Amino acid sequence: MMSRTEQTVREALAEVGNLDEDAMSLAADASLADAGLTSHAAVSLLLEIEDRLGIEFPPEQMTPETMASIRAIEAGIEALS
């Protein structure tokens, strides 16, 4: 069962990620860079997730690692709560 956070991340990814693969079926631990997420698209994705969830990532989480995979993004979001 997909968590609500994961669902939101996948929807944001489908909206702004411009991936080569389907964001809804991509493995949660697959590399987003390998799936075609550019550094610029990663910025759009981060802002989109913040908007959808009403959160703000702190400076120490503004790293490529935070956006490495759907699971990594989820973990980053959960660390905020």
Partner 1 sequence: MSLAASETTLRDALRDAGHLLPGPRPGIDGHGPEFEAVVDGIWRAYFDRAPAGTPVMAFGPLIDAAQFTATDYPRSFPHLVGEVEVFDGGDAEHGALIRDIDAGADWTTHFVPSGMTFVPATCENVYPRYAGTLEGPTIVACRSWCFRHEPSDDPMRMVSFRICEYVYLGSADGAESFRTDWLGLLLEFFTDLGLEVASDRANDPFFGRIGAMLAANQRRSGMKNEISIALYPDRRTAISSVNTHRTHFADSFGIRQAGGEPAHTACAGFGIERVAIALFAAHGMTTADWPEPVRAVLRLP
The alpha carbons of the chain give a radius of gyration, in whole angstroms, of: 11
Q: What percent helix, strand, coil does the chain show, rounded to 5?
A: 55, 0, 45
Binding mask 11-40 vs partner 1 (x if CB under 8 A, - otherwise)?
---------------------------xxx
Q: Which of residues 50-69 bind partner 1 (CB under 8 A)?
A: 59, 62-64, 66-67
Is residue 79 involved in binding partner 1 (CB under 8 A)?
no
CA distance 59 to 12: 21
CA distance 18 to 78: 25
For residues 7 and 52, which CB has a smaller minimum distance to partner 1 in the complex? 52
How many residues touch partner 1 under the rule CB under 8 A: the total is 13
Is residue 3 involved in binding partner 1 (CB under 8 A)?
no
Is residue 43 involved in binding partner 1 (CB under 8 A)?
yes
CA distance 49 to 8: 7
